[in-house]
Amino acid sequence: MESSSTATIVAALTRAIVEHRLQPGTKLAEQKLADHFGVSRTLVRQALFQLVQKHLVKMEPARGAFVAAPTVEEARQVFQVRRLLEAEMVRGFLRNVTPAKLKALRDHLAQEKAAVDRRDAAQGVELLGDFHVRMAELAGNGVLTQILRDLVSRSSLISLMYQRDSFAAHSQEEHVELVKALAAKDEKRAVKLMEEHLLHVEESLAFDRFVPTHDIALALA
């Protein structure tokens, strides 16, 4: 029951951030959230901790929890690092490519498309990010997988908060083309497609898109 309540709080706050109803920097007061959801502050604290792990929320000593507020510079740095790492990831994947690994990526593409088609923004962004982590896993590089999981989490938050609504479908289509290049074992094209894809994701960000509110009750209504 408690885990279910925690999951409900996590999902509600995630949706409020995804749908741009909570502004970066908004304080998430434990008591207000506890009153809103009719639960204890302990459950709220557990939910906030999970959101911290997802880089959606930032905890500040003696001040409490706030909606994370990635800056333009942070976003650019994240994608710069990702382009460097993921170009090499493509090469590593192709060194040990198998039909089973390609099938795993195609199965993931099908999940992405389903989420995009039903306009599930949160699930779509999560799956689009997980595609890159899945590639690292299939490439067999555990260290890269761990590093990329953190970077993807950060860039997923950035995408959730700043990306233009129409871009998810375009991003999914680019994943499809990338898998085609991997299947053809065309390393040069695959690396180029990955670099261009991540550049396009960065270029799709619009940092002036907010119509926010600091009113938690209103944002969660």
pLDDT tens digit sequence for 112-122: 999 989 887 76
What CATH number does the domain containing 122 carry? 1.20.120.530
The confidence score (pLDDT) of residue 161 equals 67
Same domain for 138 and 98?
yes
Q: Are residues 85 and 193 in the same domain?
A: yes
Are 65 and 82 contained in the same domain? no
Domains: count for the chain? 2
Query: Which long-range contacts does 192-200 make (Cβ < 8 Å, 24+ apart)?
Result: 194/83, 194/86, 194/87, 194/89, 194/90, 195/83, 195/86, 195/87, 197/171, 198/79, 198/82, 198/83, 198/86, 199/79, 199/83, 200/170, 200/171, 200/174
Per-residue confidence band for 211, with pLDDT thresholds at 50, 70 and 90: very low
Give the end of a domain, one of 46, 69, 92.
69
Q: How far is CA 22 from the centre of its chain?
A: 17
* Domain contains 184: yes
| 34 and 63 co-located in one domain | yes
Backbone angles phi, psi at 163, to 5 degrees: -75, 145
- If pLDDT is split at 50, 70 and 90, which confidence band does 198 have? very high
210 found inside a domain: no
pTM: 0.73
Report residue 127 CA to chain centroid gap. 8
Q: What is the pLDDT of residues 68-99, one digit of tens each?
A: 888 888 888 999 999 999 999 999 999 999 99
**What are the respective helix, strand and coil percentages of the chain, to the nearest 5?**
70, 5, 25
In this structure, are 62 and 100 located in the same domain? Answer: no
121 and 171 in a common domain: yes
Residue 175's domain comprises 72-203
Domain membership flag for residue 208: no
Q: What angle do CA 129, 130, 133 make, to 5 degrees?
A: 105
Residue 42 to residues 33, 53, 115, Cα–Cα distance (Å): 11, 17, 33
Same domain, 60 and 82: no
